[in-house]
Structure 1
Amino acid sequence: MKGKSLEEVHESVSTQNKAKGFRKILAFLGPAYLISVGYMDPGNWATDIAGGSQFGYALIWVLLMSNIMALLLQSLSARLGIVTQRDLAQASRETYSPFVNYVLYFLAEIAIAACDLAEVLGMAIGLNLLFDIPLLHGVFITVLDTFLLLFLINKGIRKMEAFIIALVAIIGFSFICEMIFAQPELPKIAAGLIPSLPGEAALYIAIGIIGATVMPHNLYLHSSLVQTRKFDRTKEGVKQALKYNFIDSTIALNLAFFVNAAILILAAATFYKNGMYDVAEIQDAHKFLAPMLGTKWAAILFAVALIAAGQSSTVTGTLAGQIIMEGYLNLRIQPWVRRILTRLIAIVPAVITISYFGESVTGKLLILSQVILSLQLGFAIIPLIHFVSDKTKMKGFHINRITQISAWLIALVIVSLNGRLVYAEIKGWLETSENPTLLWFTVVPLAIAFLILLLYIVIKPFVIKPKEHIYNHSPHHLKLKYVHTGESAKKNIAVTVDFSAADENALNNAFALGGTDAKYTLIHVVETVGAIMYGDEIVDHETSVDEQLLQEYDEMLTSKGYTIETKLAFGNPGKGIAKLVNAGNFDVLVMGTHGHSGFKDLLFGTTVSKVRHGISIPLVIVKK
């Protein structure tokens, strides 16, 4: 079933009744703060601490460059969502072939796992530092915070944004205090803004910083979150939305830059200054802060900020995972199942690594996770640039030539740095491996295959104009077979439809109950993540497609002599259907089922059971 991006909260925040000026801007502010936490997650801490302790203030320019890159790329992502009402994953599914989409989905899931790994380790380390909870126990505790998102998302997007902003404020306050304690040297900070790379090791850290700052999952997430705002879909309305979202991104990402710079400066002013060049572990940084800065609050605030960073970024990371799965695969499973799976993918490697190598490797694991994120960036950035440069897709709101050149330069820098890193790593493995033949037949072909894929998604749109692959979720193309029936006492009948093969049986059974004299109300629920979060305020491609399909059902059945009305609900199917039915004066509700049970009910939910307990009229269940 096609759906809106983040259907739970799609267009749930109205901006249309706000006056001009600050109140209008305030209505749009929020999505970028959810994005910004991804730019200050525990993975950033590891790369920033390593960079500051090894090279002092020399890599501050990398943070600044990364922030400028992030601001441009996130603005492109927001533009895609605002104008096309599609998130990046949905746009990819509609543009590329199924095979290419599966590969891009696989790479995106790897990025989500790497990101979540950093969040799991960061939270566990923070709990260990503050409460002396063993690291492994802390890793297992992080499973529980996935349910926090379920609670927050049911409260609405504005409350979720308020929660995240509160955590960001805690992080910011903590590092303002740390800067006061550390008293960094301002001339050296200014010198660090001049580009330089002290050595090959600095390149590895620099790429890790870029990967930790410009995060691929944030591009998917931002293109979806901006659809939470409902605004006038006029040319002026879209322009205004683009402007206010850019302001939102500028403020939020500059706050993230401050936090990242503060971590690196803290490491430089504390460790590098005293000749402690090998402090790369967050635990070591925490241990030395109090004695070196002369106050216990330095270590306490450091741990508190780390927990806040891990908690905030895990909320946005799991949301991004849901968007990617729904967008690329058009597959919707129960939100709690999706979040548990995402977290388990991160926990398993963390547990294995900590159990086998000990707690001392967590810093290296964090930096590795950020390098993996950086390697995946090209596969998210390049399609994004193509999409927002497309005049047809962007309906006249495509980016100008200067922005295109800037975006491609950023993509070139990121891909080139990643290519150099991959080449150096594979070369090192081949030289030191006891069995290089195995690497020649596994790792090397895989690297070449990904290089070919990268070249393909770069070159193809310039050579061949891509055709949009709209994957309709109506397998029978609305050509329903039905039979005329006699009369019945049922005069007002509600029928749920989901544009699947189950509709045929449901409609035929409804017609058998009411005949041609009854009134039939066709109910469909848009259940994407966006609709769940934003409700009937969401305006995206998924909703427009569902509205069109309902209209086609209406026209086809009306032409056959039936009286048809259509209603669209948003969010949780069980709640949405029950709410519409209870609000109407129906005699009976007819629902079709897909015939699954057991494990599939856990994955896809049991809508029929929820509806049955939520309505007060008879329910007819028609099996496929």
Structure 2
Amino acid sequence: MISKLKQLSFGPATLVAAAFIGPGTVVTASLAGANFGYALLWALVFSVLATMILQEMAARLGVVTQQGLGEAIRSQLENPLLKWFAIALVIAAVVIGNSVYQGGNLTGASLGMAGLLGEQAAWMPLVLGVLAAALLWRGSYRLLERVLIALVLVMSLAFITTFLIAQPDWSEFFQGLFMPSLPTGSLLTVIALIGTTVVPYNLFLHAASSAQKWQSPEQLPQARGDLLVSIPLGGLISIAIVSTAAAAFFGRAVTLEGAADLSESLRPLAGDGATWLMAIGLFAAGLSSSLTAPLASAYALSGILGYGGNLRSWPFRLTWLAIIAIGVVIASLGIRPVNVIWFAQVANGLLLPIMALFLVWACNHKMMGNYRNSWQQNTLAAVVVLIAVGLGLRSIGAALQWW
């Protein structure tokens, strides 16, 4: 028992939690709570379980093969058409998508900083972009891991404390957590909650970072212990944000358009302390995602183009530099990010099944040796993929009907 407890620690899975708890999650979770109360908390429970199933495969792939998902696809996918399709998909879904996300990440961090300093300034996205670039330029995985662990812990303290201050309705909270329901008009919100948690680019990030952290299949227990700590903690943060918004907004004559509105509207309900905590949490969420989005893009693109995962190589650095630069420009233009982030999260949910199928294929390949997926793991992965496909098709139908 003691040896198993020692295997529970923070590691690459913390990067995954830091990646999916960004401003997009804060916005999506806040809107879910404000519009539907506690009714959609079950979607986050499913999201956490689905994330753990997929991220375990990603971590195992990295530890066993010492490759990222992009490298595995490039080296083992023999059909040229499929290989080019995979490359195009990675560029479209991960690199281009993360460029847009980065603008939202820097905007979210700037909103959090403005909440702490008392005023919004045009220079904030640039300063935060330079800070992210400086940390990534060091090319030290250990440094990035430590910084992101610290940011995840800050987010946990800020959002969970705010949740407790807001005094949720505990009976409705547990009902929403364990009794699935789909209120009228909530389908796209469910898709968005799943899309903001089970993020496709995290599959690339986790596999590559696990390969750097651990060099032997005998270390798989540590990788799984890391997963058991970090992913549920990230899910708990999302649940806290939904519940805080539900307590503050649901059933009240208040309109919520973004995370900054949530922070300000908490003041009469829970006092200045909750407002400050929300600002701190939003800043940490934005900064952590401002690091992980460029990092994941660089891992994915460098891997699938055959440049490897050396954090100090020029192809790697140029990729994340481009992502940060585009993000700074988007954030500095003052575009309201709420709608962009919202629809990007929905698109993430639709792209997830394709990326997950690549991962399942890789984990059943002969390169995994004795560590290939068992039938139980394939069954769980198939369930996750099928549910994701079903939700994606329903969201397309709803969007077409609305159009």
Q: Is this contact kept in 2: 1:41–1:309, CA < 8 A?
A: yes
Per-residue deviation at 1:384? 0.3
Q: Which residue of 2 aligns with 1:314?
A: 290
- Distance in 2, matches of 1:398 and 1:138, equals 46
Q: Larger % of strand: which?
A: 1
Q: Is this contact kept in 2: 1:125–1:135, CA < 8 A?
A: no
- Distance in 2, matches of 1:151 and 1:362, equals 27
Q: Is this contact kept in 1: 2:166–2:248, CA < 8 A?
A: yes
The question of 1:252 aligning with 2:227 is answered no
Q: Is this contact kept in 2: 1:48–1:264, CA < 8 A?
A: yes
Per-residue deviation at 1:226? 0.9
Per-residue deviation at 1:299? 0.6
1:118 to 104, 109, 123: 104
1:416 to 379, 382, 390: 390
Correspondences of 1:343-422 after superposition (within 5 Å) = 343-351=324-332, 354=334, 361-390=336-365, 392-422=366-396
Q: Which residue of 1 aligns with 2:310?
A: none
Q: Secondary structure at the match of 1:142?
A: helix
Q: Is this contact kept in 2: 1:111–1:217, CA < 8 A?
A: no
Per-residue deviation at 1:373? 2.0
Correspondences of 1:483-502 after superposition (within 5 Å) = none
Per-residue deviation at 1:345? 3.1
- Distance in 2, matches of 1:400 and 1:241, equals 19
Q: Is this contact kept in 1: 2:163–2:241, CA < 8 A?
A: no
Per-residue deviation at 1:311? 1.1
- Distance in 2, matches of 1:138 and 1:418, equals 36
1:221 to 205, 213, 223: 205
Change (3 A) 1:417 1:135: farther
Correspondences of 1:71-220 after superposition (within 5 Å) = 71-94=52-75, 95=77, 96-97=79-80, 98-107=83-92, 108-134=94-120, 136-150=122-136, 152-153=138-139, 156-193=140-177, 194-200=179-185, 202-220=186-204
Q: Which residue of 2 aligns with 1:529?
A: none
Change (3 A) 1:273 1:379: same
- Distance in 2, matches of 1:362 and 1:205, equals 17
- Distance in 1, matches of 2:12 and 2:367, equals 23
Change (3 A) 1:210 1:418: same
Q: Is this contact kept in 1: 2:70–2:304, CA < 8 A?
A: yes
Per-residue deviation at 1:388? 0.8
The question of 1:34 aligning with 2:15 is answered yes
- Distance in 2, matches of 1:211 and 1:123, equals 21
Show CA shifts across 1:547-574 (max 9, x none): xxxxxxxxxxxxxxxxxxxxxxxxxxxx
Show CA shifts across 1:497-523 (max 9, x none): xxxxxxxxxxxxxxxxxxxxxxxxxxx
Q: Larger % of helix: which?
A: 2
Per-residue deviation at 1:219? 0.5
Provide the TM-score with structure 2 as the length reference: 0.90
- Distance in 2, matches of 1:24 and 1:53, equals 40
Q: Is this contact kept in 1: 2:200–2:356, CA < 8 A?
A: yes
Change (3 A) 1:284 1:135: farther
Q: Secondary structure at the match of 1:192?
A: helix
Q: Structure 1 regions of 5+ residues with no counterpart? A: 1-19, 356-360, 430-624
1:290 maps to a residue whose letter is R
Q: Is this contact kept in 1: 2:68–2:207, CA < 8 A?
A: yes
Per-residue deviation at 1:135? 6.2
- Bigger mean CA deviation after superposition, 315-324 or 124-133: 124-133
Q: Which residue of 2 aligns with 1:475?
A: none
2:144 maps to a residue whose letter is M
Root-mean-square deviation (Å): 2.3
- Distance in 2, matches of 1:338 and 1:106, equals 11
Percent identity for Structure 1 against Structure 2: 27
- Distance in 1, matches of 2:290 and 2:99, equals 11
- Distance in 1, matches of 2:377 and 2:169, equals 36
Q: Secondary structure at the match of 1:280?
A: coil
Correspondences of 1:278-293 after superposition (within 5 Å) = 278-293=255-270
- Distance in 1, matches of 2:6 and 2:174, equals 37
- Distance in 2, matches of 1:187 and 1:117, equals 38
2:261 maps to a residue whose letter is D
Change (3 A) 1:152 1:403: same
Provide the TM-score with structure 1 as the length reference: 0.59
Per-residue deviation at 1:112? 2.2
The question of 1:68 aligning with 2:49 is answered yes
Higher relative contact order (CA 8 A, sep 6+): 2
Q: Is this contact kept in 2: 1:121–1:362, CA < 8 A?
A: yes
The question of 1:263 aligning with 2:241 is answered yes
Change (3 A) 1:336 1:297: same
Q: Which residue of 2 aligns with 1:303?
A: 279
Q: Is this contact kept in 2: 1:33–1:161, CA < 8 A?
A: yes
Q: Secondary structure at the match of 2:368?
A: coil
Change (3 A) 1:379 1:344: farther
Correspondences of 1:514-533 after superposition (within 5 Å) = none
Largest Rg, 1 or 2: 1
Q: Secondary structure at the match of 1:422?
A: helix
Show CA shifts across 1:412-471 (max 9, x none): 111222222234334544xxxxxxxxxxxxxxxxxxxxxxxxxxxxxxxxxxxxxxxxxx
Q: Secondary structure at the match of 1:279?
A: coil
Q: Is this contact kept in 1: 2:104–2:337, CA < 8 A?
A: no
- Distance in 1, matches of 2:121 and 2:304, equals 35
- Bigger mean CA deviation after superposition, 324-333 or 128-137: 128-137
- Distance in 2, matches of 1:270 and 1:79, equals 41
Q: Is this contact kept in 2: 1:183–1:269, CA < 8 A?
A: yes
Q: Which residue of 2 aligns with 1:49?
A: 30
- Distance in 1, matches of 2:250 and 2:398, equals 27
- Distance in 2, matches of 1:180 and 1:313, equals 25
Give the number of aligned pairs. Answer: 391
- Bigger mean CA deviation after superposition, 408-417 or 28-37: 28-37
Q: Is this contact kept in 1: 2:104–2:331, CA < 8 A?
A: no
- Distance in 1, matches of 2:71 and 2:13, equals 20
